[in-house]
Homo-oligomer: A and B are copies of this chain.
């Protein structure tokens, strides 16, 4: 459970791959990276409408950022699809079920053994996993739901 390294220098990632880092992409990135909790695409689109960012562009940018590993899809307890950043380096989210605040952790030490046993028992060759932990953050516990 080491703290994963935070995400930095997104522009460098784009530059490296020769992908333009446009005004819209910056705003969309900042929306997700600046939040400490997971947000839906709809929420991002609503928030950025005033800044002249079209809905289609938000969808496209989220796909792009996800492909680049700069955004991770998670689902809240009700199954709603949200996105959260940063996610550079492998990590998993601990999500507050009330306010969707996300704390990232690296839990692979715990999963690796399990995967080895599973592989041996089933013959599957394992290539990945999806682990999310749900809880209530201290703030939400204290004030019963308003949550930051």
Residue from the list B94, B111, B128 in contact with A122, Cβ < 8 A: B94
Expressed in whole angstroms, the minimum distance between the Cβ of A109 and any Cβ of chain B is 8
22 A-B contact pairs sorted by A residue (CB < 8 Å)? A1-B117, A1-B121, A73-B79, A79-B81, A97-B127, A103-B122, A103-B124, A110-B110, A110-B114, A115-B133, A118-B135, A122-B135, A123-B137, A124-B135, A124-B136, A124-B137, A124-B138, A125-B135, A127-B135, A128-B133, A129-B132, A129-B134
Residue in A97, A105, A118, A136 whose Cβ sees the most chain B Cβ within 10 Å: A118
Interface string of A8-36 (1 = CB under 8 A from B): 00000000000000000000000000000
